[in-house]
Amino acid sequence: MTREETLAQVLQSDSLPTLPAVAAKLLAIASREETTMAEIADLVSMDVALSAKILKVVNSAFYSFPQSIGSIHKAVSVLGTNAVRSLVLSFSLLSIKAKRTGEAFDYDAFWSRSLAAGVAAKLIMSQMKQTDPEEIFIAGMLQNVGEMILARAFPQQYPPLREQAGGDEERLLALEQAAFAADHAFIGAKVLQHWKLPSSLVLPTAYHHSLDQFKGGKPELLRTARVVYLSSLLSGMFYSQRPDLLHKQFRTEAARLLRFDGRVLDRIENSVQAEINQTARYFDLNLVFEHPIEELLQEANQKLAQLNMSYEQVNRELLRAKMELFRVNKELREKNARLEALANVDALTEAYNHRYFQNFLRDEVRRIKRNGKPLALAMIDVDNFKKFNDEHGHQTGDFVLREVCRVAATMLREHDLFARYGGEEFVCVWPETDPDHARELAEALRLAISTHTFEQGLERYGVTVSLGLSGCLGDSEEAAPDALIGMADQALMTAKKNGKNRVEVYSPKTKWFKFKN
């Protein structure tokens, strides 16, 4: 049997799954330039069950929109065509089950692995600029769809091959080539093409196992194929008997293909378990990973050590038990310290969060009451941020917030604090800083942000901030966290009223305020 004969048999098989009517029609009309969002919304709304599922995901933390979305028309307007198409495809694919009873192929397990790969791909892509997380999510889910296609076309021959491969992807590809002269990557891509899916989904499916054969394509498609390939390594750790090998391969390949550093990789690995578990609930899949990657690696190392341990080694391990216990306790302390650090950091901007700021300000107020030195506080608001979000989208808005924090970090002294207060509002605490110096620091921060070029890919943006400044001495009555925050907030409101992109110092007529403009 040649590759072409295998493909023909698959495409002509009555077992070849077909997309539900809504998904098929959506793909057809979405490719036409004249199709409006209203037409797409009307089409999706025809399927009440599908609409309910989409609204459930749209209103979940999968998107984290600040306001509830109550209709498919609103969802299409907010998400856009690509995102809605991806959601429709996701639910449509997840509805494909066994055609006949007694099939050896486990569809539930397959779609669970596919969803995990999709979430992993979205998480990896989120660390890059100019991304489409909805498109990459479905690309990650579809990468191994050829396995399901081959299992339906060859129900007696294919399942034993997967069992024989034992989870080794390269071995499975070799076994497929030997049996069918074609592997699941080729078959999957051809079926996606048959379903008239876009090349942004077809090509990554075809080449994610053979990146070196991807020649002459668009750079963004190669990037997608790389992300899909890496997502299989990342999600595969939860299923593999040797997650340590996949972990090493993932970190090596991510650094080589995407130039990710250790900090980015740690952030991905620390998030992926929770992201997969949460997304599975949104898509009504019975999928729960109980252990994070770090624990999987520890368990794998322990199992490997036990397999290789001789009788003499066991005796030596007993003698080293005290030292090992000390090491474990040290690692536990370090892990707790890392968890505590994560609890103090805002997930989006990586600046300190609101809780940490409140604790820091409280401690500083106590300290200045002991030493009588001054303390300054600035409330900072990104000007016209809601309008910016409406014009450029929430992803660009998130980029701006992160970049504001990055610029601010370059302006901080050793003991200063910059934190996210909430939304587009930030705070800066300057310990042991008198009024004049605080005004200079605030002006320098305002100027640094207003002159900074916010560059995202080919787009450049100008951003300004308004600052409200308050402060006190240790022996003054206003030396209280709530009072300082309230005064700085009033000064910020004045800055907004007076034209924005400026610094205003709180200066009421009350005699007890010692921080003068």
Residue 256 has which token pair?
């080589």
Question: By the 8 A CB rule, do 257 and 284 touch?
Answer: no
Q: Which of 269, 424, 478, 504 is catalytic?
A: 424
Place of tokens 């995901």: 57
Phi, psi for 471 (deg, rounded to 5): -175, 175
What is the C-alpha R_g of the chain?
28
454-456/465-472 β-pairing: unpaired
CA atoms of 488 and 419, how far apart (whole Å): 15
Nearest to 269 by CA among 317, 234, 230: 234
CA distance linking residue 309 with residue 443, whole number of Å: 64
Amino acid sitting at position 426: F
Instruction: Please check whether residue 188 is in contact with residue 146, taking contact to mean a CB–CB distance below 8 angstroms.
Output: yes
Q: What is the DSSP letter of 345?
A: B
Strand 503-505 relative to strand 465-472: parallel, antiparallel, unpaired?
parallel
Between CA 141 and CA 93 the distance in angstroms is 9
Give the long-range contacts of residues 338-344, CB within 8 A, separation 24 or more.
342/270
CA distances from 272 to 86, 335, 514 (A): 20, 17, 50
Is 455 known to be catalytic? no
24 vs 33: CA distance, rounded Å: 17
475 exposure class (CB count in 10 Å sphere: 0-12, 13-18, 19+): exposed
Strand partners, 189: none
Distance CA 423, CA 503 (A): 20
CA-wise closest residue to 238 among 212, 190, 202, 274: 274
Q: CA 412 to CA 203: how far, in whole Å?
A: 46
Residues serving a catalytic function are: 424
